[in-house]
Amino acid sequence: MWNKMDDKLLFQTYKEDVYRYCLYMLRSQTDAEDISQEVFVKAMLADRSKVEHIKAWLMRIAYNECHSLAQRRTNGNRKEQKAFAIQLPLKPSPSVEKDYERAETADEFGKLLNRLKPKVKEALLLYYMADLTAAETAEALGIPLGTAKSRINRGLKMLRKLYEKTPEAVEEGSERHVSNC
């Protein structure tokens, strides 16, 4: 299918899809750029001769890289929090935690998306943001097609519920719907 001569075409064709997926997963332009670069380096060094769905394969690499970075950060944050907790006798106030959450996510959709379970969030991002088919999403996540469809459907329902519960929706008194994520 793809060979070493096609590296430039591979990059040009999928760079924006991979970057956009990484950006939504990591919520940081710098991290998304770094991880996207790592994805293409790995893809270019890999044997692609037996890859049937190149986009799904690339998104699987992106998923793995984003997940690895998130795990490293989570482990690092836990260590920092533990060290900080040892130094302070009191727990942080709820308002500090809320401020931290607000600073962590910049836009309303990002906030809602981050409230979803990671497996559901990843399926939605691959399906809608990376524009993969349900079958390609299943392949990228290494799960059965029915499971991928279920996660996408469940994610949409969860987003709708979360969106309708946002303070803006209550204040406006309007019925807002999440129809095209």
Q: How far apart (Å, rounded) are the C-alpha atoms in residues 62 and 160?
A: 27
Q: Which residues contact 13 (CB under 8 A, 6 or more apart)?
A: none
What count of other Cβ atoms lies within 10 Å of the Cβ of residue 34? 15
Gap between the Cα atoms of 140 and 21, Å rounded: 12
139 burial level (CB within 10 Å; 0-12, 13-18, 19+) = buried
Residue 176 confidence (pLDDT) above 60: no
Instruction: Give residue-wise pLDDT tens across range 79-104.
Output: 666 655 555 444 455 565 655 555 55
Number of Cβ within 10 Å of residue 163's Cβ equals 16
* Sequence spans of domains, the chain: 1-91, 92-181
CB 2 within 8 A of CB 44: no
**pLDDT digit string, tens, across residues 2-46:** 444 589 999 999 999 999 999 988 989 999 999 999 999 999 999
Q: Which residues, other chains included, contact 2 with Cβ-Cβ below 8 Å and sequence gap of 6+?
A: 10, 48, 49, 51, 54
Residues in Cβ contact with 44 at an 8 Å cutoff, skipping those fewer than 6 apart:
4, 7, 10, 11
Which CATH number describes the domain made up of 92-181?
1.10.10.10
For 122-175, how does the pLDDT look when each residue is reduced to its tens digit (9 = 90+)?
898 888 888 889 999 999 999 999 999 999 999 989 888 887 887 654 444 444
Residue 73 — very low, low, confident or very high, per pLDDT cuts 50/70/90? confident
Fold match, 1-91 / 92-181: no
CATH of the structural domain 1-91, one choice from 1.10.10.10, 1.10.1740.10, 1.10.3210.10, 3.30.200.20 = 1.10.1740.10
